[in-house]
Structure 1
Amino acid sequence: MSAEEAKKSVKDRIRFSAFTTAEIVMMAMLAAANGVLTLYISPVNQLLNGLGGPIATSTITGLYMLYGMLACYLIRKPGTAVITFGIGAVVQSFMGSAYGIPSAFAAAACYMVVAEAVFAVFRYRKWGMAQMMLAGGALVPIWFYFAARMFGYMKWGGDILALALVVRIASGIVLSGILSKLVGDALVKSGLLRRFAAAKSTLEG
Protein backbone atom coordinates (compact mmCIF):
# COMPACT_ATOMS: atom_id res chain seq x y z
CA MET A 1 0.00 0.00 0.00
CA SER A 2 1.38 3.40 -1.01
CA ALA A 3 1.65 6.37 1.33
CA GLU A 4 -1.27 8.10 -0.39
CA GLU A 5 -3.46 5.03 -0.12
CA ALA A 6 -2.59 4.71 3.56
CA LYS A 7 -3.57 8.33 4.21
CA LYS A 8 -6.82 7.87 2.33
CA SER A 9 -7.55 4.73 4.35
CA VAL A 10 -7.12 6.62 7.63
CA LYS A 11 -9.37 9.45 6.40
CA ASP A 12 -12.04 6.93 5.44
CA ARG A 13 -11.97 5.43 8.90
CA ILE A 14 -12.45 8.72 10.74
CA ARG A 15 -14.14 11.46 8.73
CA PHE A 16 -13.83 14.91 10.17
CA SER A 17 -17.02 16.78 9.36
CA ALA A 18 -17.73 20.43 9.97
CA PHE A 19 -20.08 21.12 12.86
CA THR A 20 -23.50 22.49 12.00
CA THR A 21 -24.96 25.50 13.76
CA ALA A 22 -27.42 23.23 15.59
CA GLU A 23 -24.57 21.06 16.88
CA ILE A 24 -22.58 24.06 18.10
CA VAL A 25 -25.66 25.42 19.85
CA MET A 26 -26.25 22.01 21.45
CA MET A 27 -22.69 21.86 22.77
CA ALA A 28 -22.97 25.38 24.18
CA MET A 29 -26.36 24.65 25.78
CA LEU A 30 -25.08 21.49 27.46
CA ALA A 31 -21.99 23.31 28.71
CA ALA A 32 -24.16 26.10 30.11
CA ALA A 33 -26.49 23.59 31.76
CA ASN A 34 -23.48 21.93 33.34
CA GLY A 35 -22.36 25.27 34.75
CA VAL A 36 -25.72 25.65 36.50
CA LEU A 37 -25.71 22.02 37.61
CA THR A 38 -22.25 22.40 39.11
CA LEU A 39 -23.47 25.22 41.32
CA TYR A 40 -26.06 22.87 42.81
CA ILE A 41 -23.74 19.87 43.00
CA SER A 42 -21.13 21.72 45.07
CA PRO A 43 -23.32 21.99 48.22
CA VAL A 44 -24.37 18.35 47.78
CA ASN A 45 -20.72 17.41 47.48
CA GLN A 46 -19.91 19.23 50.71
CA LEU A 47 -22.82 17.52 52.45
CA LEU A 48 -21.67 14.10 51.29
CA ASN A 49 -18.13 14.90 52.41
CA GLY A 50 -19.43 15.68 55.87
CA LEU A 51 -21.48 12.48 55.99
CA GLY A 52 -19.09 9.98 54.46
CA GLY A 53 -15.85 11.70 53.53
CA PRO A 54 -14.07 11.15 50.21
CA ILE A 55 -15.84 7.88 49.46
CA ALA A 56 -19.30 9.47 49.70
CA THR A 57 -18.33 12.43 47.53
CA SER A 58 -16.91 10.05 44.93
CA THR A 59 -20.38 8.62 44.24
CA ILE A 60 -21.49 11.68 42.22
CA THR A 61 -18.30 12.14 40.17
CA GLY A 62 -19.99 10.97 36.98
CA LEU A 63 -22.39 13.94 36.98
CA TYR A 64 -19.51 16.32 36.29
CA MET A 65 -18.79 14.56 32.98
CA LEU A 66 -22.36 13.91 31.86
CA TYR A 67 -22.77 16.97 29.63
CA GLY A 68 -19.72 16.23 27.52
CA MET A 69 -20.58 12.56 27.15
CA LEU A 70 -24.14 13.43 26.14
CA ALA A 71 -22.84 15.83 23.49
CA CYS A 72 -20.56 13.13 22.11
CA TYR A 73 -23.40 10.62 22.01
CA LEU A 74 -25.77 12.95 20.19
CA ILE A 75 -23.33 14.54 17.73
CA ARG A 76 -20.88 11.69 17.10
CA LYS A 77 -18.14 13.71 15.44
CA PRO A 78 -14.42 14.00 16.23
CA GLY A 79 -13.75 17.12 18.29
CA THR A 80 -17.10 17.15 20.06
CA ALA A 81 -15.55 16.36 23.45
CA VAL A 82 -12.83 18.99 22.98
CA ILE A 83 -15.31 21.75 22.17
CA THR A 84 -17.97 20.81 24.73
CA PHE A 85 -15.65 20.28 27.68
CA GLY A 86 -13.70 23.38 26.64
CA ILE A 87 -16.82 25.54 26.64
CA GLY A 88 -17.83 23.93 29.92
CA ALA A 89 -14.58 25.02 31.57
CA VAL A 90 -15.06 28.60 30.34
CA VAL A 91 -18.66 28.70 31.59
CA GLN A 92 -17.63 27.39 35.00
CA SER A 93 -14.92 30.05 35.19
CA PHE A 94 -17.43 32.84 34.55
CA MET A 95 -20.06 31.41 36.89
CA GLY A 96 -17.56 30.66 39.59
CA SER A 97 -16.17 27.29 40.59
CA ALA A 98 -15.91 26.05 44.15
CA TYR A 99 -12.77 24.17 43.14
CA GLY A 100 -10.99 27.01 41.36
CA ILE A 101 -10.57 28.03 37.72
CA PRO A 102 -7.32 26.04 37.16
CA SER A 103 -9.06 22.83 38.22
CA ALA A 104 -11.97 23.49 35.82
CA PHE A 105 -9.62 23.69 32.84
CA ALA A 106 -7.41 20.83 34.03
CA ALA A 107 -10.41 18.54 34.44
CA ALA A 108 -11.79 19.56 31.04
CA ALA A 109 -8.44 18.83 29.41
CA CYS A 110 -8.31 15.36 30.94
CA TYR A 111 -11.90 14.57 30.00
CA MET A 112 -11.63 15.76 26.38
CA VAL A 113 -8.40 13.87 25.67
CA VAL A 114 -9.67 10.58 27.06
CA ALA A 115 -13.14 10.86 25.51
CA GLU A 116 -11.74 11.58 22.04
CA ALA A 117 -9.26 8.72 22.38
CA VAL A 118 -11.91 6.19 23.41
CA PHE A 119 -14.37 7.12 20.67
CA ALA A 120 -11.55 7.27 18.10
CA VAL A 121 -10.77 3.63 18.89
CA PHE A 122 -14.29 2.82 17.70
CA ARG A 123 -13.87 5.25 14.74
CA TYR A 124 -16.76 7.32 16.06
CA ARG A 125 -19.13 4.68 14.72
CA LYS A 126 -20.04 2.49 17.69
CA TRP A 127 -22.27 4.08 20.32
CA GLY A 128 -23.77 1.14 22.19
CA MET A 129 -24.14 0.86 25.94
CA ALA A 130 -20.81 -0.98 26.25
CA GLN A 131 -18.91 1.81 24.49
CA MET A 132 -20.57 4.52 26.59
CA MET A 133 -19.88 2.66 29.82
CA LEU A 134 -16.25 2.20 28.83
CA ALA A 135 -15.87 5.89 28.04
CA GLY A 136 -17.63 6.96 31.23
CA GLY A 137 -15.31 4.89 33.38
CA ALA A 138 -12.18 5.80 31.40
CA LEU A 139 -12.69 9.53 31.94
CA VAL A 140 -12.02 9.19 35.67
CA PRO A 141 -8.45 7.92 36.36
CA ILE A 142 -6.32 10.61 34.69
CA TRP A 143 -8.19 13.53 36.28
CA PHE A 144 -8.19 11.70 39.62
CA TYR A 145 -4.39 11.49 39.42
CA PHE A 146 -4.04 15.25 38.96
CA ALA A 147 -6.86 16.11 41.39
CA ALA A 148 -5.20 14.03 44.09
CA ARG A 149 -2.19 16.31 43.88
CA MET A 150 -4.10 19.56 43.43
CA PHE A 151 -6.50 19.03 46.34
CA GLY A 152 -4.33 17.03 48.74
CA TYR A 153 -6.01 13.65 48.34
CA MET A 154 -2.66 11.98 48.99
CA LYS A 155 -3.20 12.47 52.72
CA TRP A 156 -6.08 9.97 52.59
CA GLY A 157 -3.74 7.02 52.43
CA GLY A 158 -3.39 4.25 49.87
CA ASP A 159 -6.45 2.21 50.84
CA ILE A 160 -8.84 5.18 50.80
CA LEU A 161 -7.37 6.47 47.53
CA ALA A 162 -7.83 3.08 45.86
CA LEU A 163 -11.41 2.72 47.11
CA ALA A 164 -12.25 6.29 46.09
CA LEU A 165 -10.90 5.63 42.60
CA VAL A 166 -12.99 2.47 42.25
CA VAL A 167 -16.14 4.30 43.41
CA ARG A 168 -15.43 7.19 41.02
CA ILE A 169 -14.95 4.87 38.09
CA ALA A 170 -18.24 3.16 38.95
CA SER A 171 -19.89 6.57 39.17
CA GLY A 172 -18.44 7.49 35.79
CA ILE A 173 -19.80 4.31 34.26
CA VAL A 174 -23.30 4.82 35.69
CA LEU A 175 -23.85 8.60 35.93
CA SER A 176 -21.83 9.51 32.84
CA GLY A 177 -21.80 6.51 30.53
CA ILE A 178 -25.13 4.80 31.13
CA LEU A 179 -27.07 7.96 31.97
CA SER A 180 -25.84 9.86 28.91
CA LYS A 181 -27.02 7.03 26.65
CA LEU A 182 -30.40 6.78 28.37
CA VAL A 183 -30.96 10.54 28.26
CA GLY A 184 -29.70 10.68 24.68
CA ASP A 185 -32.04 7.90 23.57
CA ALA A 186 -34.96 9.60 25.31
CA LEU A 187 -34.21 12.88 23.52
CA VAL A 188 -33.97 11.07 20.18
CA LYS A 189 -37.32 9.37 20.75
CA SER A 190 -38.91 12.74 21.50
CA GLY A 191 -38.31 13.70 17.88
CA LEU A 192 -36.65 17.00 18.79
CA LEU A 193 -33.17 16.05 17.56
CA ARG A 194 -33.80 14.81 14.04
CA ARG A 195 -30.82 16.74 12.66
CA PHE A 196 -28.35 14.98 14.94
CA ALA A 197 -26.33 11.86 14.16
CA ALA A 198 -27.87 9.90 17.03
CA ALA A 199 -31.35 10.34 15.55
CA LYS A 200 -30.19 9.56 12.03
CA SER A 201 -28.47 6.41 13.24
CA THR A 202 -31.69 5.26 14.89
CA LEU A 203 -33.67 5.85 11.71
CA GLU A 204 -31.10 4.00 9.59
CA GLY A 205 -31.03 1.15 12.08
Structure 2
Amino acid sequence: MNKGNAGRTAFAAFTTMDIVLMAMLAAANAVMTVYLSPVNQALNSIGGPVLTSTITGLYMIYGLLAYYIIRKPGTAVITYSIGAVVQSFMGTAYGIVSCFAAAACYMVIAELIFAIFKYRNWGWPVMLLAGGAMVPIWFFVAAQMYGYTKWGMNILLIALVVRTLSGVVLCGLLTKLLGDALARSGLLRRFAVASKG
Protein backbone atom coordinates (compact mmCIF):
# COMPACT_ATOMS: atom_id res chain seq x y z
CA MET A 1 0.00 0.00 0.00
CA ASN A 2 1.47 3.40 -0.95
CA LYS A 3 1.50 6.41 1.36
CA GLY A 4 -1.44 8.04 -0.40
CA ASN A 5 -3.65 5.01 0.11
CA ALA A 6 -2.50 4.68 3.71
CA GLY A 7 -3.50 8.26 4.38
CA ARG A 8 -6.93 7.77 2.83
CA THR A 9 -7.45 4.58 4.83
CA ALA A 10 -6.55 6.31 8.10
CA PHE A 11 -8.93 9.19 7.35
CA ALA A 12 -11.71 6.83 6.29
CA ALA A 13 -11.42 5.02 9.62
CA PHE A 14 -13.45 7.84 11.19
CA THR A 15 -17.17 7.71 10.48
CA THR A 16 -19.45 10.71 10.32
CA MET A 17 -20.77 9.70 13.74
CA ASP A 18 -17.22 9.72 15.12
CA ILE A 19 -16.62 13.25 13.87
CA VAL A 20 -19.97 14.46 15.18
CA LEU A 21 -19.27 12.98 18.61
CA MET A 22 -15.81 14.56 18.76
CA ALA A 23 -17.23 17.94 17.76
CA MET A 24 -20.04 17.69 20.31
CA LEU A 25 -17.66 16.85 23.14
CA ALA A 26 -15.31 19.66 22.08
CA ALA A 27 -18.18 22.14 22.04
CA ALA A 28 -19.42 20.94 25.42
CA ASN A 29 -15.92 21.43 26.81
CA ALA A 30 -15.77 25.00 25.51
CA VAL A 31 -19.05 25.80 27.27
CA MET A 32 -17.90 24.07 30.45
CA THR A 33 -14.64 26.03 30.40
CA VAL A 34 -16.55 29.31 30.38
CA TYR A 35 -18.25 28.30 33.62
CA LEU A 36 -15.09 26.81 35.12
CA SER A 37 -13.16 30.07 34.75
CA PRO A 38 -14.90 31.88 37.66
CA VAL A 39 -14.69 28.70 39.76
CA ASN A 40 -10.98 28.55 39.02
CA GLN A 41 -10.53 32.19 39.99
CA ALA A 42 -12.48 31.68 43.23
CA LEU A 43 -10.38 28.65 44.16
CA ASN A 44 -7.22 30.62 43.39
CA SER A 45 -8.28 33.47 45.65
CA ILE A 46 -9.04 31.05 48.49
CA GLY A 47 -6.18 28.57 48.25
CA GLY A 48 -3.82 29.85 45.60
CA PRO A 49 -2.18 27.61 42.99
CA VAL A 50 -2.64 24.44 45.01
CA LEU A 51 -6.41 24.66 45.48
CA THR A 52 -7.04 25.78 41.90
CA SER A 53 -5.10 22.69 40.75
CA THR A 54 -7.84 20.42 42.08
CA ILE A 55 -10.09 20.90 39.02
CA THR A 56 -7.39 20.48 36.35
CA GLY A 57 -8.71 17.09 35.23
CA LEU A 58 -12.02 18.57 34.10
CA TYR A 59 -10.31 20.59 31.37
CA MET A 60 -8.96 17.42 29.72
CA ILE A 61 -11.85 15.01 30.02
CA TYR A 62 -13.56 15.66 26.68
CA GLY A 63 -10.69 14.35 24.57
CA LEU A 64 -10.09 11.29 26.71
CA LEU A 65 -13.81 10.49 26.74
CA ALA A 66 -13.89 10.71 22.94
CA TYR A 67 -10.95 8.32 22.75
CA TYR A 68 -12.52 5.87 25.18
CA ILE A 69 -15.74 5.80 23.15
CA ILE A 70 -14.30 5.79 19.60
CA ARG A 71 -11.00 3.89 20.20
CA LYS A 72 -9.28 4.84 16.96
CA PRO A 73 -5.75 6.27 16.53
CA GLY A 74 -5.85 10.02 16.01
CA THR A 75 -8.98 10.61 18.07
CA ALA A 76 -7.14 12.81 20.57
CA VAL A 77 -5.55 14.88 17.81
CA ILE A 78 -8.89 15.64 16.18
CA THR A 79 -10.92 16.15 19.37
CA TYR A 80 -8.44 18.37 21.18
CA SER A 81 -7.82 20.37 17.99
CA ILE A 82 -11.54 21.01 17.53
CA GLY A 83 -11.75 21.90 21.21
CA ALA A 84 -8.97 24.46 20.92
CA VAL A 85 -10.60 26.10 17.89
CA VAL A 86 -14.06 26.26 19.47
CA GLN A 87 -12.71 27.54 22.75
CA SER A 88 -10.69 30.24 21.02
CA PHE A 89 -13.83 31.47 19.23
CA MET A 90 -15.88 31.46 22.43
CA GLY A 91 -13.20 33.32 24.32
CA THR A 92 -11.00 32.28 27.20
CA ALA A 93 -9.57 34.00 30.24
CA TYR A 94 -6.24 32.28 29.64
CA GLY A 95 -5.55 33.49 26.09
CA ILE A 96 -5.95 31.87 22.68
CA VAL A 97 -2.36 30.60 22.61
CA SER A 98 -3.01 28.60 25.77
CA CYS A 99 -5.94 26.81 24.09
CA PHE A 100 -3.74 25.40 21.34
CA ALA A 101 -0.70 24.80 23.55
CA ALA A 102 -2.73 22.82 26.07
CA ALA A 103 -4.48 20.86 23.32
CA ALA A 104 -1.14 19.97 21.74
CA CYS A 105 0.23 18.73 25.07
CA TYR A 106 -2.86 16.65 25.82
CA MET A 107 -3.10 15.06 22.38
CA VAL A 108 0.56 14.01 22.24
CA ILE A 109 0.40 12.18 25.55
CA ALA A 110 -3.01 10.59 24.95
CA GLU A 111 -1.96 9.27 21.54
CA LEU A 112 1.29 7.94 23.01
CA ILE A 113 -0.39 6.14 25.91
CA PHE A 114 -2.91 4.30 23.76
CA ALA A 115 -0.31 3.50 21.11
CA ILE A 116 1.86 1.87 23.78
CA PHE A 117 -1.06 -0.38 24.67
CA LYS A 118 -1.81 -0.97 20.96
CA TYR A 119 -5.33 0.45 21.30
CA ARG A 120 -6.49 -2.77 22.98
CA ASN A 121 -6.43 -2.04 26.70
CA TRP A 122 -9.20 0.23 27.99
CA GLY A 123 -9.28 -0.92 31.59
CA TRP A 124 -9.08 1.12 34.76
CA PRO A 125 -5.24 1.18 35.06
CA VAL A 126 -4.75 2.51 31.52
CA MET A 127 -7.47 5.14 31.82
CA LEU A 128 -6.16 6.39 35.17
CA LEU A 129 -2.64 6.44 33.74
CA ALA A 130 -3.79 8.45 30.71
CA GLY A 131 -5.63 10.97 32.88
CA GLY A 132 -2.62 11.56 35.09
CA ALA A 133 0.03 11.44 32.36
CA MET A 134 -1.53 14.30 30.38
CA VAL A 135 -0.86 16.75 33.22
CA PRO A 136 2.94 17.19 33.61
CA ILE A 137 3.88 18.32 30.10
CA TRP A 138 1.20 21.04 30.01
CA PHE A 139 2.12 22.07 33.56
CA PHE A 140 5.72 22.59 32.46
CA VAL A 141 4.65 24.60 29.40
CA ALA A 142 2.14 26.65 31.40
CA ALA A 143 4.76 27.35 34.05
CA GLN A 144 6.87 29.07 31.39
CA MET A 145 3.91 30.89 29.84
CA TYR A 146 2.37 32.20 33.05
CA GLY A 147 5.37 32.52 35.34
CA TYR A 148 4.48 29.75 37.76
CA THR A 149 8.16 29.60 38.68
CA LYS A 150 7.57 32.57 41.02
CA TRP A 151 5.62 30.20 43.29
CA GLY A 152 8.79 28.53 44.50
CA MET A 153 9.85 24.91 44.08
CA ASN A 154 7.85 23.52 47.03
CA ILE A 155 4.56 25.01 45.84
CA LEU A 156 5.31 23.95 42.26
CA LEU A 157 5.83 20.33 43.30
CA ILE A 158 2.71 20.27 45.48
CA ALA A 159 0.65 21.85 42.68
CA LEU A 160 1.99 19.31 40.19
CA VAL A 161 1.05 16.40 42.46
CA VAL A 162 -2.44 17.83 43.06
CA ARG A 163 -2.94 18.44 39.33
CA THR A 164 -1.79 14.93 38.48
CA LEU A 165 -4.18 13.43 41.03
CA SER A 166 -6.94 15.63 39.60
CA GLY A 167 -6.09 14.26 36.15
CA VAL A 168 -6.29 10.70 37.46
CA VAL A 169 -9.64 11.23 39.21
CA LEU A 170 -11.50 13.97 37.29
CA CYS A 171 -10.25 12.88 33.88
CA GLY A 172 -9.22 9.22 33.93
CA LEU A 173 -11.66 7.82 36.48
CA LEU A 174 -14.55 10.06 35.44
CA THR A 175 -14.02 9.18 31.77
CA LYS A 176 -14.26 5.48 32.55
CA LEU A 177 -17.39 5.95 34.68
CA LEU A 178 -19.12 8.18 32.11
CA GLY A 179 -18.10 6.07 29.14
CA ASP A 180 -19.30 2.83 30.72
CA ALA A 181 -22.56 4.43 31.90
CA LEU A 182 -23.30 5.79 28.43
CA ALA A 183 -22.44 2.42 26.86
CA ARG A 184 -24.85 0.63 29.20
CA SER A 185 -27.58 3.12 28.31
CA GLY A 186 -27.46 2.07 24.66
CA LEU A 187 -26.69 5.57 23.40
CA LEU A 188 -23.27 4.50 22.10
CA ARG A 189 -24.25 1.30 20.31
CA ARG A 190 -22.65 2.56 17.06
CA PHE A 191 -19.27 3.10 18.70
CA ALA A 192 -16.42 0.77 19.65
CA VAL A 193 -17.04 1.13 23.39
CA ALA A 194 -20.38 -0.66 23.01
CA SER A 195 -18.94 -3.69 21.26
CA LYS A 196 -15.64 -4.04 23.12
CA GLY A 197 -16.69 -3.08 26.63
- Partner of residue 156, structure 1: 151
Could you tell me which residue of structure 2 aligns to residue 183 of structure 1?
178
C-alpha distance in structure 1 between counterparts of 2:188 and 2:87, whole Å: 26
Provide the aligned length of Structure 1 versus Structure 2.
Answer: 190
- Secondary structure of 1:19's match? coil
Task: Please state how far the C-alpha of 1:73 moved relative to its aligned partner.
Answer: 0.2
The partner residue of 1:125 within 113, 120, 136 is: 120
Q: Aligned residue for 2:23? A: 28
Structure 2 runs not aligned, ≥5 long:
none
Match for residue 199 of structure 1 among 177, 181, 194: 194
TM-score, normalised to structure 1's length? 0.91
- Structure 1 runs of 4+ with >4 Å offset: none
Matches within 5 A, 1:57-72: 57-72=52-67
**CA displacement at 1:18 relative to structure 2:** 1.1
Rounded to whole Å, the distance in 2 between the matches of 1:192 and 1:156 is 45
User: Take 1:128 and 1:58, find their aligned partners in 2: how far apart are those partners?
Assistant: 26
Matches of 2:187 and 2:104, distance apart in 1: 30
Instruction: State the alpha-carbon separation in 2 of the partners of residues 174 and 72 from structure 1.
Output: 17
Which 5+ residue runs of structure 1 have no aligned equivalent? 5-10
Q: Secondary structure at the match of 1:60?
A: helix
Residues in 1 aligned to 2:55 and 2:64: alpha-carbon distance in whole angstroms: 15
- Within the alignment, does 1:88 sit opposite 2:83 as a pair? yes
Larger Rg: 1
> 1:163 is aligned with what amino acid?
I
Percent same amino acid among aligned pairs? 69
**1:7 maps to what in 2?**
none
Within 2, Cα distance between the matches of 1:118 and 1:88?
20
Q: State the partner residue of 2:165.
A: 170
